[in-house]
Amino acid sequence: MKIIASNFKTNHTRKSTQEFITKLDESLSQDSNNRVFVFPPNTALLEDSFKNLTIGSQNAYPIESGSVTGEIGLNQLQEFNINTILIGHSERREIIKESQEICIEKFNFFKQYGFTIIYCIGENLKTKQNGLDSTLSFLESELLGIDINYDKLIIAYEPIWAIGTGVSATCSDIENVHSKLKQKLGKIPLLYGGSVKPDNTKDILSISGVDGILVGSASWELGSFCKILENSKEC
Ligand code: 13P
């Protein structure tokens, strides 16, 4: 069983999300092998009641409801029965300037409500160029304060330099990092993300220590995401 997750980021409208997810759910009916997640933008959240996939939120503020302009909280997610969330994506850390402290706060809050949490970590190019030890200590810093024994935790390793660039990390890069992370994380599922496409899905999913993939751009078009799912079947 592999975990295959699609992160829509700031793509798709409510209407196109509905069409995409309805068709995807139908096409998945014979595919019981994988656990599939879709993270639409928050304006396009759908009731998490599909048969073959789980809907999650890309982001929410650690609050039930209150005064945080521009954010959504637990109440808004519960209205859609959403209990899965992405935390710590590098685009939020880099562009929105989310600190490790706020990631920890979000983690603790949504853990308390039993959410499945896909917690993202990943180094930038400069850190990668400083060698594997630098990368590992950076990744360690992004795990600081996170309860890695939480049974609904999934970690996604997404090297920033591979995100949206079309150039995935090499299989040996992925294997090196995943094998080290696995030593720390034990049974926690570990996903890879960063330029996963239909034609590299099989190779990436065959790497030891890769329990799944978190896909951005190549998952935004249904045909492409279906190919990824097809190519992940025998892995
Ligand atoms: P890409 O697949 O577009 O590189 O994005 C990866 C990602 O950030 C998924 O969360």
Catalytic residue among 91, 123, 158, 178: 158
Contact 60, 75 (CB under 8 A): no
Residues having CB closer than 6 A to ligand 1 are: 7, 89, 158, 163-164, 193-196, 214-218
Active site residue 89: yes
Catalytic residue among 12, 89, 123, 142: 89
Alpha-helical regions (H) of the chain: 14-27, 74-78, 90-94, 100-112, 125-129, 132-143, 171-185, 198-205, 222-231
How much is the CA Rg of the chain, to the nearest whole Å? 17
Q: In the chain, what percentage of residues exceed pLDDT 90?
A: 94
Active site residue 12: no
- Within a 10 A sphere around the Cβ of 206, how many other Cβ atoms? 12
- Within a 10 A sphere around the Cβ of 112, how many other Cβ atoms? 10
Q: Whose CA is nearest to atom 7 of ligand 1?
A: 216
Residue-level pLDDT at 30: 62
Task: Choose among 209, 203, 215, 216: nearest CA to 188.
Answer: 209
Which pLDDT tens digit goes with each residue over 167-204?
889 999 999 999 999 999 999 999 999 999 999 999 99
Q: What number does the ligand 1 atom closest to the CA of 193 have?
A: 6
pTM: 0.97
Task: Choose among 208, 217, 211: nearest CA to 4.
Answer: 211
- H or E element at residue 234: none
Q: Could you tell me the distance, in angstroms and rounded to a whole number, from the CA of residue 66 to the centre of ligand 1?
A: 31
Task: Choose among 173, 178, 163, 223: nearest CA to 198.
Answer: 223
Residue-level pLDDT at 92: 98
Q: Could you tell me the distance, in angstroms and rounded to a whole number, from the CA of residue 60 to the centre of ligand 1?
A: 19
Token digits for 162? 């591979």
Token digits for 91? 């685009």
Q: What number does the ligand 1 atom closest to the CA of 163 have?
A: 4
Contact 88, 103 (CB under 8 A): yes
Task: Choose among 6, 86, 83: nearest CA to 47.
Answer: 83
**Facing residues of 156 across strands?**
120, 191
Cα(57)–Cα(38) distance, integer angstroms: 8
Which pLDDT tens digit goes with each residue over 7-59?
999 999 999 999 999 999 999 976 567 999 999 999 999 999 999 999 999 99
Domains of the chain, CATH where assigned: 2-232 (3.20.20.70)
- Non-local (6+) Cβ contacts of 216 within 8 A are 7, 9, 163, 164, 193
Q: Whose CA is nearest to atom 2 of ligand 1?
A: 216
Token digits for 17? 């999300």
Residue-level pLDDT at 29: 72
Mean pLDDT of the chain: 96
Cα(210)–Cα(231) distance, integer angstroms: 15
Q: Is the pLDDT of residue 166 over 80?
A: yes
Q: What number does the ligand 1 atom closest to the CA of 120 have?
A: 10
Packing angle, helices 132-143 and 100-112, rounded to 10: 50
Which pLDDT tens digit goes with each residue over 89-107?
999 999 999 999 999 999 9
